[in-house]
Amino acid sequence: MTNTRYDILIVGAGHNGLVAATYLARAGKKVLVLEQRDSAGGQLAADAFGGSTFDPLHAGAQLRPDIVSDLGLARHGLAYEAATPYVSLQPDGKRLHLSTMPGDAATLESIRQFSAADAARWPEFVAFMDRAAAFLDAAYCTPMPRLPHVGLAEGWPLAKLAWTLRRLGGRDMFRVIRAMSMSTLEFTEEWFESEQLKAAIAAVGIHGHTLGSMSAGTGYTLMHNWLNRGGLAQRAVVGGNGKVAGALVAALKAAGGEVRTGAGVERILVDSLRVSGVRLANGEEIAATTVLSGADPRRTLLGLVGAAELPPDFVWQVQSIKMRGAVAKVHLLTNGNHGLPAGTLAFAPTLKYLERAYDAAKYGELSAQPYLEVTTAGNVVSVHVQSAPYKLRGMDWDDARATIERTVIASLAEQFPALEASVHEVRTLTPVDLEREYGLTEGDINHGQLILDQMFFMRPLPGWSNHATPVDGLYLCGSGSHGGGGISGAPGRNAAQAVLKAKPVA
């Protein structure tokens, strides 16, 4: 057992773990973050490619503004690039350029080529989506109660959230409530008539989720992604996503916290349903009465704690968490003459196109026409491939890797003829790679699907939405807990607040 005594241990130096650690360290706690990989950042850690660095998993990483302000991350070098457009590429060569900035004349003109009525409706739609996202942000800041046990302490925050919803006004309040359970097909059809615009918006609703444009609940995921992106397009970090991790580590150290990399946690130590510390892969044991895990709930509870240490009914619930990763990342190192413009480029021409791509993934197949989202950073072209199921039927990912690379390059070459000749090297992360290299169960980048039965007070499990677990002193702070999904930092902040409000473990 190590001689150094810590108040709190954090498993994983992903963005949520670092956010939680920094809030706790600023509150005067002695905090140690333990990271298996050689660098901090988790899904935001930069990697080398062709002599430069690039972002393997995410094109943007927009922490919630209140977290950036609270932790003083701008002082530690965190800054964001100027906003770029969201561009939907059409088979006939036309392009739909969309910006959510108020009064953007270029956006209205681009929409007008498909529908004058849609162009007239666009400002109202953007204003509504911004209000809906603001409500969702308030919901993610609100501690969720352990239903059905709701006392005054838990009920008061919910009452304030209900008042926030009511302040939207009667019309928008009902719109938000209805939209959460709707499909993006139904939702966009209530606003617009052109197929091109409806599909461009619907694509953002299913980005990162194993859902189709006709799936119930994608109205909610559209609002969720709109909130995390600040609109439709991805917002890049100046210097790459690794700067987010760097700023968080610097803020943590300034607050007196510590980070150890190359220190993988093999076991969270439990004695009679009370956490006592962790054991590292090298056999070292570190004692603490409070442990927070940034790993996904299934990996934390069944892998690091172990089913034998947990109540049997709770184990069954954890086993039932829906992961269902269906995302691959294909990165192309080019000579710079790829011909792609700046911005977030989407291959999502129609709602049926999105649904057919999802249908293939649903049945364990690779779509020949997948939903793609493309960004560039210098000579690197990064492609998010949505229709890439973790569990393939009739093949494995060793065989499928080359197939998906050919599909991506061929799809891009149809729109950008100069691309194929510019490619020097290809690097692909399959869902299996995401599990093996980043510890993402089933390759699920959200630590659990954002679906109707895994949101708000049901995330990660009904009755356990307050970041606590049946093990006293063990908390979940990763993306699989309330407020999670994407890069926001909300789960880390919320978990830190829960720990600070909890009664000390005797």
Over residues 207-266, the pLDDT tens digits come to 999 999 999 999 999 999 999 999 999 999 999 999 999 999 999 999 999 999 999 999
Q: What is the pLDDT of residues 149-199, one digit of tens each?
A: 666 556 556 666 776 767 777 788 788 889 999 999 999 999 999 999 999
* CA contacts within 13 A on the Cβ side of 450: 25
Q: What ranges do the domains of the chain cover? A: 8-44+61-79+238-321+446-501, 121-229, 328-441
For a pLDDT cut of 90, what percent of the chain falls above it?
83
pLDDT at 438 (0 to 100): 93
Nearest-angstrom CA–CA distance, 484 and 456:
10
202 with 98: CB under 8 angstroms? no
501 with 26: CB under 8 angstroms? no
SS3 33: strand
User: For the chain, what's the residue count?
Assistant: 506
pLDDT above 60: residue 505: no
Contacts for 398 with CB less than 8 Å, ≥ 6 apart = none
In one-letter notation, the amino acid at residue 314 is F
| Bridge partners (DSSP) listed for residue 334 | 423
Residue with tokens 């009902």: 174
Burial letters for 27-41: b for 16+ Cβ neighbours within 10 Å, e otherwise?
A: eebebbbbbbbebbb
Residue with tokens 């969270």: 268
pLDDT above 70: residue 122: yes
Nearest-angstrom CA–CA distance, 143 and 483:
9
437 with 429: CB under 8 angstroms? yes
| Bridge partners (DSSP) listed for residue 346 | 88, 373
CB atoms within 10 A of CB 332: 27
pLDDT above 60: residue 406: yes
SS3 261: coil
Cβ-in-10-Å burial (0-12, 13-18, 19+) of 476 comes to buried
In one-letter notation, the amino acid at residue 34 is L
CB atoms within 10 A of CB 79: 12
Q: What are phi and psi of 124, to 5 degrees?
A: -65, -40
pLDDT above 90: residue 457: no
Contacts for 410 with CB less than 8 Å, ≥ 6 apart = none
pLDDT above 60: residue 131: yes
The pair of structure tokens assigned to 118 is 């849609």
pLDDT at 172 (0 to 100): 80
pLDDT at 243 (0 to 100): 95
pLDDT at 176 (0 to 100): 85
pLDDT at 461 (0 to 100): 92
The pair of structure tokens assigned to 2 is 């190590």
Look at residues 301, 311, 269 and name the one whose alpha carbon lies nearest to residue 287.
Answer: 269
Cβ-in-10-Å burial (0-12, 13-18, 19+) of 406 comes to exposed
Give one DSSP letter per residue of 44-65, joined into a string.
Answer: G--EEETTEEE-SS-S-----H
Angle between helices 170-181 and 152-166 (to 10 degrees): 110
SS3 87: strand
180 with 190: CB under 8 angstroms? no
pLDDT above 90: residue 402: yes
301 with 47: CB under 8 angstroms? no
pLDDT above 80: residue 349: yes
User: Chain-wide mean pLDDT for the chain?
Assistant: 93
SS3 328: strand
113 with 98: CB under 8 angstroms? no
Nearest-angstrom CA–CA distance, 229 and 235:
6
Q: What is the pLDDT of residues 33-69, one digit of tens each?
A: 999 999 999 999 999 888 778 899 999 989 999 999 9
Q: Checking phi first, is residue 25 left (phi over 0); if not, alpha (psi -120 to 50) or beta? A: alpha
Which of 23-32, 140-149, 307-316, 376-385 comes out lowest in average pLDDT?
Answer: 140-149
Q: Which CATH class is domain 8-44+61-79+238-321+446-501?
A: alpha beta
Question: What is the helix (H) or strand (E) element at residue 358, kind and residue range?
Answer: helix 351-362
